[in-house]
Structure 1
Amino acid sequence: MKTTLEQKAKDISYKPVGQFEETRFEKIHNVIFSDSNVASIQVAHEIADLIRSKQEADEQCVLGLSTGSSPLRVYEELVRLHKEEGLTFSNVVTFNLDEYLPMERENRQSYWFFMHENLFNHIDIPKENINIPDGTVEGDEVIEYCLSYEKKIKKHGGLDFQLLGIGRTGHIGFNEPGSHYNSGTRVITLDHITRVDAGPTFFGIDNVPRKAITMGIATVRSAKRIVLLAWGQNKANIIKKTVEGDISSTVPATYLQEHENCTFVLDTGAGSELTRNKTPWLVDESLDWTEELTAKAVVWLCTLTGKSILSLTDKDYNDNGMSGLLALQDSYDLNIRMFNRLQHTITGWPGGKPNADDTKRPERAEPAQKRVIIFSPHPDDDVISMGGTLDRLIEQGHEVHVAYQTSGNIAVSDKEALKFAEISKRIYPSDEAQEIVDYIKAKKESSYDSKQVLRLKGDIRRGESYAAVRYLGLPDENVHFLDLPFYETGRIKKNNLSEADIKIMVDIIEKIQPHQIYAAGDLADPHGTHKVCLDAAFAAIDRLKSKPFMDDCWVWLYRGAWHEWDTNEIEMAVPMSPGQVLRKRNAIFAHQSQKDGVMFQGDDSREFWMRAEERNKETADRYNALGLADYAAMEAFVRYNF
């Protein structure tokens, strides 16, 4: 008999944010954590418990494993359990989901390389127990190879546990849209979106293989236990489709709805579009209507009905699951309160307006001239995400400092670096310049950069950063390059945040003693740098919060290039005139190495200046649609209360 979601919720040992509640919308058991690291550790411990229980029964433990960024922390914890707590993998047999085709094992983009670098090289699993699809199989051999892979899984009694991630197309493994629920291990042609998402790892989509070997849907579904991991807001839409949508080959992950022992482990970003989180009043009318929830509901209702806030009627609220809200106050007073809430977020004075009543403004008036630090994860996030606000702060006389947290060196293409190296060689001939030119010309796409090349690429980003903020009038002495050590690996995969990173952040905050700190609150960054930079900022602020100067310091979070704050979340909205939009564009243009074919675009093919302008215009349009003033563009911020 099929296990109900409620029974699964009782059985699961995870400690999520809140308790899982079955709703009429959800068809797959899921738990949501506020921290993906905590979630990953709990998944790792479930795997460890399974391994130990199999050892006690003198049985093999057969694991299905996945690659990508989602399971990395799980693998780190399994390695720690092995090294520090004696967890042995001597009875473990593993089968990986997939591999690119063609793909040599030694290639850094291969899943063979990934698994050994992140797990197998650090544990005591017998080499003969490791099974990863072979990306070198050719021609007619492929079909027979796939059948033999399938037979080998069955020979070991099937998968006891399958770890999954999920792609934006809803693919699990490389089972792309159109995959049949009875499919087995086979060769598949990769969806264009999948190849776009893999592009950064391969230094461009043109280098991403077009085919792969993958376990099939039926193979995955035969596992006794399935756990799917999804982190970040960029996974939110596909998670909603998978958990709440109908079973369809267009979203292959929906086939998991029919599995009796499957759990989706999510963070708050990935679970944000689920009905119980996005519109909880549709699930439970007996809600605690906090001010934040009320604002969220009213903005949603305006979007649904196409009305401004002050035009909403009792019928609009009652017809859309919000009768409980009207029981607390009538729609007229509610509408005015919510309108004023949003109106008071708008300010042309992001540093506070001197000699003005600040009771209804997002920022305080005093001190009139503030010391400000803007933390920029990459050397262009400052102007891309808050260039208009930066311009205003400088223009209005504040002491503004921009601190670039990382060098951004890996985002400079070899073509761009070669151009600068050859110019340098012509201006000042040297052995070092010639070595760099020779190295880049001989370099293979899958090779790491030399230290000299990385330094050159970092210098290119520095030069562009100076050019951008000089254009806005910021003096050079107020520009700081922190080069946080976690980033300086020369590869896509970064190190974990360290004490050295946090100390650098602490030192600059303590040196400047700011009244305002701006930091990137964008957790949907496709390669994770924004999140680590934000964690570094939070850790530094936490250490310094007892200092007297921090009593007068406010922290504002902006979003990066991928997402904007929901309108109801915004606590400060800085409008821009058409002229200021143009100034922001020109500042972004100073980052020439990130224009025309930028390497780390994420899932959006537009250039950064285009997405920034369109996002700022959309924010202003949303405000206007709610009945507020009509501006050309707006930048948005949320205050972090430490």
Structure 2
Amino acid sequence: MLGNYPLSAVEKAFQKESGIEKISTKIPYLVVDNFPKLGLITACRFLEWVSSNPSGVISLPTGKTPEYFIKWTKYLLEHWDSHKGKEIRKQYGLEKTSKPELKDLTFVQIDEFYPISSKQKNSFFDYVNKFYLEGFGLSKEKAILINSDEIPLAEGKHFKEVFPDLKVDLSLRFREAQTPLEKLQQDSIYLIDKWCGDYEQRIRDKGGIGFFLGGIGPDGHIAFNTRGSHLFSTTRLTETNFETQAVAAGDLGGIEVSANRLVITIGLDTIVYNKDAVGIIIAAGEAKAQIVKDSLEQEMTNIYPATVLQKLKNGRFYLTKGAAVRLSDSVDSYFFNGEWTWEKTERAVIELCKKLKKYGQRLKLEDLKNDRYASKIPDLSEDTVSQVMESMIAKINRGISKEKNEVLLHTGPHHDDISLGILPHITNQLNENSNEAHFSVLTSGFTAVTNTFVIETLLHTKKLLDNGEIQMVHYEDFFRIGYKLKTDKDVYHYLTKVAAEDSLGRARGLSHRVVRALVDIFEVKNKQQLRETINDVISILRNSYDGEKNPAKIQKLKGMIREFEEELVWAHFGVQVKNVHHLRLGFYTGDIFTEQPDKKRDVEPIVNLFRQVNPTKISLTLDPEGSGPDTHYKVLQATAEAVRQWGEEKDLSDLRIIGYRNVWFKFEPHEANVIVPVSLGDMSVMEDSFANCYLSQVNASFPSYSHNGKFSTVAKKVWVNQLSDIQLLLGKNYFYLHETAKVRSSHGLIFFKDMNVEEFLAHARELEKSIEGML
């Protein structure tokens, strides 16, 4: 039992392993160590259910979240009676379960974009056919699917004829059509609505969904039932909200597409229609922690759609430790179990300030004694709060201390990660001439560049070529060796045009670099071939659907555009191109499920970079697994292994590792040990460099779900919010009356973690330890 809820054999095994015996949430949950383990528990529970319901109705999710569910399900089915398979089954409650047969199950597709061709690889129809119907051997004949190409429309037309711009105006449901095309669209919308009703009826005729598995969106959506969806909603054609569109932008090739694309989704009532159904929501990573807390601890409400699972006695959340970290149960466990640490004291005091909305200096001893967490602080006294304040001041003092004679290697998973994470700190370092700085982005980052941006850039480049405005192509040795030379001059000239506010000159500077990239990638030998190559690339991109995986050479072109952007940012501070290193690790392929880093292919380049630069300090993103893009965590894995290997050949006792975070996830004050003040000037430098250099990102085609705009604005908000937390503890006068100008001018703060190698490797090991040996 978990609370008042009976558990299956699989759930009992995982619950015993987690050690959690008591829960207080409205829906029961189980917690596992990490993302792969989340896939394992879900696969085991699914196969347990199928074994008892071989002709049941199932509905399974799409996207990246079910990656390990799919892998573990296939592994267990293929190795059911092998030694390893028996071992896993014995450990996790499947020992007495007969091998399930999946061929007689009825599969129900949860949702789909509309309209979208079923032939597109980024359609959910293609996904479920590939990974579930074919991958699991399910019956295609029994499946209840959403195929946009086959949904009947007025006059028997295809959606490309009815909605030529692929936009559906739902106001036509309620207003009079103004044109013949609008009348055709209106009649078609009514037909789609009828089809959705029939889809719902087909599910209900089967008795409803017996096993539902879904992820949860940043706004709490399950399926495409976004915040505000009616608890009794059924299958329908509907709009989405910004958070959902931001998440879908990666699938559809940009927010420009996802913002204008509707969806067909089963409803919340569809999910819980079968009262005996097993309904499971899976969530991984600390970035999901707040929405998980709200969905599990609130009464049933349309504000948090997942609360509808309260209707099911077999409704569950399966979570990683990170996703569960904000649950009241988890916070209680943090404070009440295990050794009391100074971090716990800092957290308890800071959170009490927030709870009571009191400045630290106004907290009374009585306030601490009356708080269920702060009251547990050992040796609680009148001095406790001032000790925490002094601890925070010490962190700020570390953040303003001058660094000298350092060899700095700042790394990031994607272009702009370093800038968004710690640019003001780097500015301080670069103002000291005795420091030497290097920058390295470890992946190509091509997925962040839209087809539209490349097409527009190439069309402009072709125009400049035709007007004779790219003079370097006329040099005799340009196509042999010249294209590799004077890259620093490219960067300098571009930034000169930025200073002059010459937008055409700036665009010409980008075209110069694109020409160099084209010659390099496509081995162009002359001006005629250059024009032909430009035309070919434009043609390929125009004939590609938004979100389609590009050919390798076009991926490389997009990546080299991003690399140029990165060089421009650091050239603001006089950093030469040779000090900006582009590693392009091989695991980054643009596939929906990116592979794990390979120790030879992905780790060796990092080790070689360490040997070349010989840094005294290395910065890297320290995002927990499952928070933000999984590329962040995979780069962390590769970097940690590279540090280990480098440590085998060199004494790294003096090496410092700087772990930072940016827009995807942030440190809490008690987690960081360095705090860097950020002035309005620092913010302006970051905003200006982002807008002027990251040209492919200014339109925010792949935005954060927290802000419809540039990532630089999101970063600024994070810094400002972090200042608010510390101001509440220290008081605002600490800042504006400080003896140091850097602190007086601060209107934001950056948090990061400064570690020695041993501390860093222990942290990285903690994150990955239970992943090893899993698949």
**TM-score normalized by structure 2?**
0.73
Q: Counterpart in 2 of 1:109? A: 122
The whole-number CA distance in structure 2 between the counterparts of 1:183 and 1:578 is: 47
Does 2:714 match 1:611? yes
Q: Say if 2:421 and 2:715, in contact at 8 Å, map to a contact too.
A: yes
Equivalent in 64, 67, 88 of residue 72 of structure 1: 67
DSSP-derived class of the 1:501 partner? coil
Q: Say if 2:250 and 2:547, in contact at 8 Å, map to a contact too.
A: no
Q: How far off its partner does 1:148 sit?
A: 4.4
Does 2:598 match 1:498? yes
Q: How many residues align?
A: 618
Q: Say if 1:240 and 1:273, in contact at 8 Å, map to a contact too.
A: yes
Does 2:529 match 1:530? no
Equivalent in 559, 579, 584 of residue 483 of structure 1: 584
The whole-number CA distance in structure 2 between the counterparts of 1:623 and 1:181 is: 40
Specify whether residues 182 and 440 from structure 1 end up closer, same or farther in structure 2 by C-alpha distance, changes over 3 A only.
closer
Letter in 1 for 2:406: K
Q: Say if 2:606 and 2:639, in contact at 8 Å, map to a contact too.
A: yes
Equivalent in 575, 579, 586 of residue 474 of structure 1: 575
Q: Say if 2:690 and 2:698, in contact at 8 Å, map to a contact too.
A: no
The whole-number CA distance in structure 1 between the counterparts of 2:375 and 2:19 is: 22
DSSP-derived class of the 2:289 partner? helix
The whole-number CA distance in structure 1 between the counterparts of 2:751 and 2:5 is: 40
Q: Say if 1:472 and 1:587, in contact at 8 Å, map to a contact too.
A: no
The whole-number CA distance in structure 2 between the counterparts of 1:143 and 1:154 is: 17
Does 2:219 match 1:219? no
Q: Counterpart in 2 of 1:96? A: 109
Q: How far off its partner does 1:17 sit?
A: 8.0
Q: Counterpart in 2 of 1:289? A: 340
Specify whether residues 342 and 414 from structure 1 end up closer, same or farther in structure 2 by C-alpha distance, changes over 3 A only.
same
Larger fraction in helix: 2
Q: Counterpart in 2 of 1:637? A: 752
Q: Counterpart in 2 of 1:228? A: 281
Letter in 2 for 1:587: S
Q: Counterpart in 2 of 1:566? A: 668
Q: Say if 2:67 and 2:593, in contact at 8 Å, map to a contact too.
A: no
Q: Say if 1:436 and 1:452, in contact at 8 Å, map to a contact too.
A: no
Equivalent in 603, 608, 620 of residue 519 of structure 1: 620
Does 2:347 match 1:246? no
Q: How far off its partner does 1:157 sit?
A: 5.0
The whole-number CA distance in structure 1 between the counterparts of 2:338 and 2:103 is: 51
Q: How far off its partner does 1:74 sit?
A: 0.9
Q: Counterpart in 2 of 1:357? A: none
Q: How far off its partner does 1:493 sit?
A: 5.2
Specify whether residues 530 and 588 from structure 1 end up closer, same or farther in structure 2 by C-alpha distance, changes over 3 A only.
same
Structure 1, residues 281-310: CA drift from partner, whole Å, max 9, x if none?
8xx868753222111111101122233333
Q: Counterpart in 2 of 1:362? A: none
DSSP-derived class of the 1:331 partner? coil
Specify whether residues 543 and 45 from structure 1 end up closer, same or farther in structure 2 by C-alpha distance, changes over 3 A only.
farther
Letter in 1 for 2:60: L
Q: Say if 2:700 and 2:708, in contact at 8 Å, map to a contact too.
A: no
Specify whether residues 517 and 595 from structure 1 end up closer, same or farther in structure 2 by C-alpha distance, changes over 3 A only.
same
Letter in 1 for 2:539: D
DSSP-derived class of the 2:58 partner? strand
Q: Say if 2:606 and 2:642, in contact at 8 Å, map to a contact too.
A: yes
Q: Counterpart in 2 of 1:363? A: none
Specify whether residues 566 and 180 from structure 1 end up closer, same or farther in structure 2 by C-alpha distance, changes over 3 A only.
same
The whole-number CA distance in structure 2 between the counterparts of 1:348 and 1:9 is: 52
Equivalent in 213, 217, 220 of residue 170 of structure 1: 220
Equivalent in 316, 326, 343 of residue 263 of structure 1: 316
Q: How far off its partner does 1:110 sit?
A: 1.7
The whole-number CA distance in structure 2 between the counterparts of 1:70 and 1:457 is: 26
The whole-number CA distance in structure 2 between the counterparts of 1:84 and 1:50 is: 18
Does 2:559 match 1:508? no
Specify whether residues 348 and 227 from structure 1 end up closer, same or farther in structure 2 by C-alpha distance, changes over 3 A only.
same
Specify whether residues 31 and 517 from structure 1 end up closer, same or farther in structure 2 by C-alpha distance, changes over 3 A only.
farther
Specify whether residues 158 and 584 from structure 1 end up closer, same or farther in structure 2 by C-alpha distance, changes over 3 A only.
closer
Q: Say if 1:72 and 1:118, in contact at 8 Å, map to a contact too.
A: no
Q: Counterpart in 1 of 2:483? A: none
Does 2:416 match 1:380? yes
Q: Say if 2:451 and 2:546, in contact at 8 Å, map to a contact too.
A: no
Specify whether residues 571 and 6 from structure 1 end up closer, same or farther in structure 2 by C-alpha distance, changes over 3 A only.
farther
The whole-number CA distance in structure 2 between the counterparts of 1:492 and 1:123 is: 18
Name whichever of 284-293 and 117-126 sits farther off. Answer: 284-293
Specify whether residues 407 and 145 from structure 1 end up closer, same or farther in structure 2 by C-alpha distance, changes over 3 A only.
same
| Aligned sequence identity (%) | 22
Higher gyration radius (CA): 2
Q: Counterpart in 2 of 1:406? A: 443
After TM superposition, where is structure 1 displaced by more than 6 Å over at least 4 residues in a row? 284-287
Q: Say if 2:34 and 2:284, in contact at 8 Å, map to a contact too.
A: no
**TM-score normalized by structure 1?**
0.87
Q: Say if 2:5 and 2:313, in contact at 8 Å, map to a contact too.
A: no
* Unpaired segments ≥5 residues, structure 1: 355-367
Specify whether residues 569 and 6 from structure 1 end up closer, same or farther in structure 2 by C-alpha distance, changes over 3 A only.
farther
Q: CA RMSD in A?
A: 3.1
* Unpaired segments ≥5 residues, structure 2: 82-98, 154-187, 474-526, 736-742, 762-775
Letter in 2 for 1:564: K
The whole-number CA distance in structure 1 between the counterparts of 2:691 and 2:236 is: 46
Q: Say if 1:285 and 1:321, in contact at 8 Å, map to a contact too.
A: no
